[in-house]
Amino acid sequence: MFNYYLRLALSSIRRTPVLSALMVLALGLGIGAFMTTFTVYHLMSGDPIPHRSDMLYAVQLDNWDPNRPPTESARDVRAQLTWQDGNNLVLADTPATRQVHMYGTGAVVVPEGNDPPFDESVRATWHSFFPMFDVPFLYGGPWGQAEDEARAGVAVIGRELNDKLFNGENSVGRDLQLDDQHYRVVGVIDDWQPMPRFYHSDWGRAFEDTEQVFIPMNRAIDLQMGQRGNTNCWKMPDEDLPLFEGFLKSECVFTQFWAELETPQQVAAYKDYLDNYVRGQKAIGRFERPLATFISDVMEWMDVMRVVRDDNRVLLRLSFLFLLVCVLNTVGLLMAKFMGKGGEVALRRAMGASRRQVFQQNLIEVGLIGVLGGLAGAGLAWLGLRAVENMYRGYQHLVHLDAVMLLTAIATATVFAVLAGMYPVWRVSRLAPAGLLKTQ
């Protein structure tokens, strides 16, 4: 019977192509808009590192201008540290299991042979970065404490860059030229793209690519590699010092700092440690504001950083309302379509179809419209997400229109179509079977 109903549904859809197309379009638009905003929202609000997100803490120290309004929450404090504070902490014996201090920079990669040089973002960091953030390696591994201390010329590169420079071969031990400096490759990272990119999620950067080059921070500092990304200063660096040194010793914030804390005791001890550190700094004339330090685990940090912006939430709600409007529209169109079905229904009833059979037959037609609407919706969602990508820099990873998304769209559309169709289909199945004889 299902095949029979399906065949009838197809021919019924063919019989009213305009009306059917309108319904598919209405559902498709609603589903497409909702899927687009939902995908964006889902990716933005997801946990980028689920198994470790509750032990990784972003560190904030309030070193700002004493004349600014008082600090009430983590959102009032700069998201980054000065180099000197980060460096003090990373070298200190703190209660944390691991700490990482880092900043984003860049360099020109000079390939061997005749290929043209190109620019790459570089993360200047500490060896602890890789185990802390559970970075997967394809070849080799991270450098160690010794290389950090020796300010060594070593590098970890990403798979993409490895494909480009070394044809995807194991490049451990090979030479990598950045600007005029040579580095020894010690590891190649496999595909790795935490979403959002929590470890450096400044405004607008939470959806950027992970870097393809990682080098020891000490090395980058020695080479005076400039920071890329937000830099905030509330007072000018000391002009008596050379430019880069003055910048390093200034109150300008541009580095990211994370601590790994596994137990509540460790968290409390670390927080005390930070407070004491700031007290110590106050004693030498820095940190003129009331003492304020914050540590936030990954999901708290995503909130502090407003990675999911309020307008995303509003958009999600609006698109859901839009979906409802589309579904209501579909109800109207279905009513119109089924209005013309009285004759056939009365006939089938006279031939022995029960109400239930009429209900099933028409529900399958509605379901089929739902499936088509879902396909249209998935297509529109794909276009929508492409548009989002083009509009906002750094959203490149938002979408992979995969089977899951396609199935979700179809399932959602079918469910909504069937919901929308319930009432019209019920109505149609209640049509008086006597209708045929009477209208003569």
Partner 1 sequence: MLKMSQITKVYRTELVETHALQGLDLHVEEGEFVAITGPSGSGKTTFLNIAGLLESPTSGAYLLDGEDVSRLNDRARSRIRNEKVGFIFQSFNLIPDLNLADNVDVPLRYRGWSAARRRDIVGKMLDRVGLGARHNYLPSQLSGGQQQRVAIARALAGQPRFLLADEPTGNLDSEMAEAVMGLLETINEQGTTIVMVTHDPDLAHRAHRNIHILDGQASDVPDLAPGNVMQFSESLRV
Q: Which is nearer to partner 1, 184 or 348 (CB)?
A: 348
Are the beta carbons of 13 and 22 closer than 8 angstroms? no
Beta carbon of residue 10, minimum distance to partner 1 (angstroms, whole number): 10
Q: Which amino acid is at 29?
A: L
**Of the two residues 347 and 407, which places its CB atom closer to partner 1 in the complex?**
347
Residue placing its CB nearer to partner 1 in the complex, 15 or 68: 15
Pairing state between β 56-61 and 293-297: antiparallel
Nearest distance in Å: CB 29, partner 1: 28
| Nearest in space to 45 (alpha carbons), one of 201, 210, 230, 229 | 201
Q: Are 48 and 195 in contact (CB under 8 A)?
A: yes
Q: Closer to partner 1 at the Cβ: 347 or 415? A: 347
Which residues of the shown chain bind partner 1 in the complex (CB under 8 A)?
1, 4, 11-12, 14-15, 343-344, 347-357, 432-434, 436-438, 440
Q: Which is nearer to partner 1, 325 or 339 (CB)?
A: 339
Min dist. Cβ of residue 352 to partner 1 (A): 2
CB of 425 to partner 1, least distance (A): 16
Contacts for 341-346: CB closer than 8 Å, 24+ residues apart: 341/12, 341/428, 341/431, 342/428, 342/431, 342/435, 343/435, 343/436, 345/428, 345/429, 345/431, 345/433, 345/435, 346/431, 346/432, 346/433, 346/434, 346/435, 346/436
Return the number of the residue (98 or 349) whose C-beta is nearest partner 1.
349
Closest distance to partner 1 from the beta carbon of 44 (Å): 48
By residue count, the chain amounts to: 440
For 168, 269, 322, 407, the CA distances from 32, given in Å and listed in that order, are: 38, 49, 10, 13
Q: How far is the CB of 355 from partner 1 (least distance, A)?
A: 5
How deeply is 122 buried, as exposed, middle or buried, from its count of CB atoms within 10 A (0-12, 13-18, 19+)? buried
Nearer to partner 1, 88 or 357 (CB): 357
CB 22, min distance to partner 1, A: 20
Do you find a cis peptide bond into 131, omega within 30 degrees of 0? no
**Amino acid making up residue 373:** G
